[in-house]
Structure 1
Amino acid sequence: MLTPHIRLVITIRTMPNHLKLNENHWIDKDALDICKNLSEAGHTAYLVGGSVRDYLAGVPPKDFDIATDALPNQVKKLISRAYVIGKRFRLVLVHRHNVQYEVATFRRNPTHAEADDEEVQNDNLFGEPEQDAKRRDFTINAMFYDPKTKQVIDYVDGLKDIDARVLRMIGDPVERILEDPIRILRALRLSHKLHFQIEENLRMGIANHHACLAEAALPRIREDLLKILRLPAPERCLLECHDLGVMKTCFPLLQSIYMDQEQSEIFETSMHRAVHFIEDYSDPKEQFLCFTYAILKALSANTDKEIWDDELFDSIENSLKNEFGVFKSEVEFIRKNMQLISSFSRIENFIKRGRRRQTNFLSHEAFPYALKLAHWDYYIDSETYLNWQDLYRRDIPHMVEKDIEKMKTRYSKRRS
C-alpha cells in the first residue's frame, strides 16, 4: 500500500482565520460523536468529501459524510437511530435532530474477474481508505479528515489542488465522464461554488463529451440543477454550461434563450436578482418558481404576451417537466403563481367579491409567494403590496381558527 500524504490541519495555509485550530468551529457535533463512537469500538472513521473540501477551501461546511471500515450492519448496531439503505450502494443513514448523516463503508473497484461476474455488485465491494479515495470523482472530494488525530489524509494530491484552486478529475477525465455523465454538471457547479478553475483536460473532456448527458437520469439532473440554482450567482454557472455546449444537450429551452442576446440578458438579470427573493433554499418549489419566472420573463421580451399568459406557460410546460425534472405538482404551483400576479394590480375587484371567494383567493398556497414576486419585480408598488398584506393577515388567522374547529368537529364525530 502506498504511504498516504498526511498534513496536519494546523499547517493548511488556506484555512480561514475564523475556523483555525478548533474543530468545534467547523465539525458538526453529531458527526463528531458518530466518528467517536465508531473509533471507540475499534473502527476507523473519517469525515470525507464535501465537508473536508469546503473547510480547506475556506467555505463553512454544511453536509458531513462519514467513511469507515465498519460494515453497514456493524454501524447499525453501534450507532443509535441508524438505518441501512440502498441495494446498489448500501450505506447507513443516521438521524439526529432532523438532520441525516451518511455513513459509508470504504469501497474499492472490482478486479477484472469481479467486473465480468454479473452476480457481483460492483458498488458494494468493500476496501481500504486509499482504494476508496481513488474511486471518487475529484481530487478535492477525496480527502479524509481524522477527528481522532486531527489530520487530513490525502492519497490523490487534493491538498495541492486546494492550494492551487484547481478542480481536477481523479484518473482520465473522459473515462470518468463517460462512467457518470452527471460529473459534468457537478464539475461546473463546484468550480463556481468554490471559485476554482477547471483543469484543462477536464474542461476539454466536458466540451467534447457533453452529449453523454442525454443518457443521464432526469432525477439526477434535477438534483444537480437545484444545487446550481442555490449558488450565489447561478447565472454565471449556466452561462458556462452554454459556452461549453452542455446546455444544448441538457437544457434546450435555456439554449434557445441564450441564442438571443436580449432574452439572455433578461434571463441572467432575473436569475441574479433571484438570490434576494428566495428565503428557503431547501424548498424546490421556491427555487423553480424563480427559475421559471426568469424564463417566462425572457421569452415574453418583444412579444405582446405577459408572463402570466397561459399560452406562454403552456409552451414551456413540457420543458419544465422533461428537461429540468420539475414535478407536476410544482408545475401547477408555478402556474398558479403566474395567474395570481395578474390579479394584484386590481385590488378593487377583489374587494367587490363575496367573503368566500376572497377567502379562497387568500388561502391558496401560492398567494404569499406570488405577492412577494409581484412586489419584488415591480408589478405592484409598495402601497398595494402592504394593502394585500393587511388583507392576508386579516383573513389568515380566521381561516386557521375555522380549520381547527372543523378538525375538532370531525374528531368528535369519529369518537361518537
Structure 2
Amino acid sequence: MLSGKKIVLGVTGSIAAYKSAYLIRALIKLEAEVKVIMTSASCDFIAPLTLATLSKNPVAIDFIKNDEGEWENHVELGLWADLMIIAPCSANTLSKLTSGNCDNLLIATYLSARCPVWIAPAMDLDMFTHFSTTSNLNLLKQKGVRVIEPTSGELASGLEGKGRMEEPEEIATLIHDFFTPKSNLRNKTVLITGGPTYEPIDPVRFIGNNSSGKTGVLLADACAERGANVILVTGPTKQVVKNDSISIISIRTAEEMLTAVQKHWGNSDVGIFSAAVSDYRPEHPADQKIKKKTDHLSLNLIKNPDILSWAGNQKKENQFLTGFALETNNEIENARGKFIRKNLDLLVLNSLRDEGAGFGYDTNKVSFLLHDNKIINFELKDKRQVVEDILDQIEEYFK
C-alpha cells in the first residue's frame, strides 16, 4: 500500500490523457494521496472535473486559481510531494523539462520539486524517434529523472510502433514497488495470531479480555506489504485487514487457535503470536443459558493450552518466533523468564504502567528482549510504527 504517500500527477496535452483517470484510481486504491496539475492543452482531452472527482482534490491548472486572484502555490506543491510523475508527458512538455521554459504551472512545480520526478512519454512514432526527443530523454535520465518507457502498438495516427504511454496499472505497480523497501520477508510464510479468545460459560456468556485485535491485523497487513505470505489466526475482532492476499482463520477459543497453529506452524518461517489468549476456561460450559437463581455462582476453571509454549517446543532451527508479554510488576525479570521458557527469538514487552499503552489505545510503548540478554527500549509510538519496528527486528534475522 501507499498509505501516507503524496503524489503530484502532471497531465499534458496528449490523446493518452484519458489514461490519467485510470492511474489516479489505481493510486487512490493503493491509499496514496494524489494532487493533479493539468496543462491548459490537456483540458481539451479530459475534463478537470473528472480528475478532481477521482483524486478527491481540486485540480490545479493556472497560476491564479480563482476569480478572487488567489495564487496557486507551485512551491508548496513541489515541497508537498513524495513523488512527482508526469503521465502522459507530451513532446512539448518534455522539451520544457529539459530547457526549464517555465510558462505554465506544471513546469513551475517541476522546478520547485525536491522529490523524485518520473515521466511517462506519450507521442506518435515519428515524434518519439526524432533526435530532439531522444536527446531530451537522455538528458533527463542523466539528471536523475526516471523515464517510464512507452510501449509499442497502434498509435493515434494509425501508425504502429513505440510511443504509447505505459498502462496505468503498470505505472501504479512501479510506484508501489518504488516505495516498498526490498524485504527479507518477501515470499516467507508468516503465521500471526491476534485478538482475544472467548471461552464459553454458556451459549451467551464467555470469559474474554479487552484485546481489540488491532495489533494482529496491523502486523498482517504490514507483513503482506513486505511481500510475505501471511496466515492470520484471529479471535473475535472488528478490525479488518486491507490486503486481500492474507489468509484469515477466524476462531473463538484457545483450543481452536491451538488447532490452527498446529496445522500451519510447521510450514511457517516466522511466528508472531500477538493474541491475548485466555489463560483459563470453564471446565464444563453449560448447554443452556444459566438462569439467575442464586446470589452466588461458582465456576470451575481449568488451564487453557499454552499455544506459544507449544510453538516454541516445536520450533525448528530456521524458524523465528516472536511472543508478547503484558506485565504489571517486575516487568523485565518476568519477561526474561518467559523468553527463555518459551524458546523465543524476540519478546515484545509492554507495561500497563505506561500511559497510552496497552488495550484500547492507538499507541504503545514497548521493549524488545532478544538473545544474549539484549534489551531495546522504545518511546511511546503509534501502533503502526511499533509494528514496523517489530518487523524490522525480525528482518535482521533473515539478512
Same fold (TM over 0.5): no
Higher strand content, 1 or 2: 2
Higher helix content, 1 or 2: 1
Compute the TM-score of the two structures, normalised by the length of structure 2.
0.25
Compute the TM-score of the two structures, normalised by the length of structure 1.
0.24
Which structure has more relative contact order (CA 8 Å, sep 6+)? It is 2
Larger Rg: 2
